[in-house]
Amino acid sequence: MTRITIAKGDGIGPEIMDATLKILLAAGAKIEIDEIEVGEKVYLAGNTSGIAKESWDIIRKNKVFLKAPITTPQGGGYKSLNVTTRKFLGLYSNVRPCMSLHPFVKTKHPEMDMVIIRENEEDLYAGIEHQQTDEVVQCLKIISRPGCEKIVRYAFEYAKQYGRKKVTCFTKDNIMKQTDGLFHRVFDEIAKEYPEIENEHWIIDIGAAKMADTPEVFDVIVTLNLYGDVLSDVAAQIAGSVGLAGSANIGEECAMFEAIHGSAPRRAGQNLANPSGLLQGAIMMLNHIGETVAAEKIQNAWLKTIEDGTHTYDIFKENSSKQKVGTIEFADAVIANLGKQPSTLKKVSYVNSSALHLPKYRRKEPALKELQGVDIFVHWPGLNPDELAKTIKKLENEEIKLTMITNRGIKVWPEGFKETFCTDHWRCRFKPGSDSNITKNTIVNLMSLAVTNNIDVIKTENLYAFNGMAAYSLGQGQ
Ligand code: NAD
């Protein structure tokens, strides 16, 4: 028996959870259940994270969590429970299979069968945002080598386990050479360890266009958090419906499984909702805990039910569906099909589908890190960069010189274009004068002089080289 934690959530959550659990138990899944409360009620009781401390204890003890969708109340101050859970529990990998069920569920892409594996903890979702000047706000995009290595390795191991042929990486490293560049480099490094699996890289824009047009050319896709978030909803929708897809959030110790859709409050309490998304999440959960026989039995029964034309309202079509059913009747139809196989749709075999055990990340030897300068970011309401340069040059000494000013990344001094639009947010780059080496003290002195000269520095960023390679972006146009 495996003890799992469940939360019935809000809106249609309780109905689809009841239906899912009924199917799991009917299939003989060896699970015991601890139920916790998360979501709207907990938020409105004054807990801004939507979950009580005692519930965390249960989740951490059981390590496996099946969660129905929740409603996040409107208005500020409420933290996304999903994002918090993923990060607290280190659930670095988000796995979303998106497969068409043609001809039983309408889709323009009958051959589509892919899995999106998305990094789940980093990127712009670190939620580190600041307003720095009257006109400019910033969100930090954090990408780490462990984050990249773990997710890319997960994608290749997943492909190997499920007999998939190709892993495609999506990034935008033609623009973000450091962050997306790291993800792409790590992908190339790790791909070499899996010569039997084809690998390729696409720039995300054209890759996304290709995916929306010809999804059948992709097999496993691995990508960064934000791109994966957007792409996986598109993929689920073009496969047939967001109501049919589940997702797994996998960490080294814990895992959470869910439907990809929300709590659909307008459909709640009417026995209308399709439980398939949560059921797909639950099937991944069963595989994760080694209940592969029950998982396979349920998935084949579910495929057969879809094939029989027993459909909830969201996928019901007059000509192709046979019977429009509610949540409860759909679950009962799946239960009645347990032990049966689909005849048109491909039946599944989950003999080798239990949890992946990846090697732990090992920190590398530190590189030789050399301070090569500093960017100081200044709030300045003027318009003419030459004037700003005159003021900023007051901070120079023989050790350190102003070499460039950019505005929103584009070089505006020296030799800027008068046509370039400028905000009140300026990056002033200082590099060592000839033959001088700088230290942190050089920067402290620079900052102190800036204060004396009433220059409004809103942040600084040190410029480093690692093993002799400059590791910061140039100014655009530099
Ligand atoms: P939604 O996914 O709840 O609904 C979008 C549309 O899809 C609606 O028309 C709905 O009726 C339909 N739909 C969704 N799931 C369905 C199902 N299982 N069966 C039949 N029809 C289904 O998205 P929304 O309306 O943008 O969000 C509603 C609430 O859900 C919001 O409070 C949002 O914050 C929350 N939400 C929660 C999660 C989560 O807990 N994982 C994810 C997304 C949204």
Q: Which of 8, 66, 91, 261 to mutate to test the pocket of ligand 1 (most atoms within 8 A of CB)?
A: 261
Rg (CA), the chain: 26
Residues 341-362: tens digit of each pLDDT = 999 999 999 988 888 889 999 9
pLDDT band at 73 (very low <50, low <70, confident <90, very high): confident
pLDDT band at 474 (very low <50, low <70, confident <90, very high): confident
Q: How far is CA 225 from the centre of its chain?
A: 3
Residues 237-293: tens digit of each pLDDT = 999 888 899 999 999 999 999 999 999 999 999 999 999 999 999 999 999 999 999
Give the atom of ligand 1 at the shortest distance from the alpha carbon of 274. Answer: 19
Residues 117-131: tens digit of each pLDDT = 999 999 998 889 999
* pLDDT given for residue 82 in this prediction: 86
Q: Would you say the CB of residue 263 lies under 6 angstroms from ligand 1?
A: yes
**DSSP characters for 273-328?**
---HHHHHHHHHHHHHTT-HHHHHHHHHHHHHHHHTTEE-TTT--TTT--EE--HH
* pLDDT given for residue 240 in this prediction: 86
Q: Which two tokens stand for residue 42?
A: 């907990």
* pLDDT given for residue 84 in this prediction: 86
Q: Would you say the CB of residue 273 lies under 6 angstroms from ligand 1?
A: yes
In the chain, what are the domains?
A: 1-107+240-349 (3.40.718.10), 109-238 (3.40.718.10), 369-470 (3.30.70.1570)
Q: Which two tokens stand for residue 196?
A: 């039997």
How far apart, in whole angstroms, are the C-alpha atoms of residue 477 and residue 25? 63
Mean pLDDT across 5-10:
97
**DSSP 8-state assignment for residue 414:** T
Three-class secondary structure assignment of 187-254: HHHHHCCCCCCEEEEEEHHHHHHHHHHCHHHCCEEEECHHHHHHHHHHHHHHHCCHHHCEEEEECCCC
Ligand 1 centre to CA of 237 (Å) is: 13
* Segment holding 93, helix H or strand E: strand 93-99
The pTM of the full predicted model, rounded to 2 decimals, is: 0.93
* pLDDT given for residue 189 in this prediction: 97
> What residues are annotated to the active site?
125, 172, 205, 229
* Segment holding 170, helix H or strand E: strand 166-171
Distances (CA, A) of 327 to 15, 198, 295, 428: 7, 41, 20, 60
Distances (CA, A) of 155 to 162, 265, 348, 358, 405: 11, 34, 20, 11, 41
Distances (CA, A) of 187 to 103, 167, 218, 307, 325: 36, 10, 16, 38, 45
Q: Would you say the CB of residue 374 lies under 6 angstroms from ligand 1?
A: no
Distances (CA, A) of 251 to 62, 142, 156, 476: 13, 19, 16, 38
If one compares 74 and 135, the residue with the highest pLDDT of the two is 135
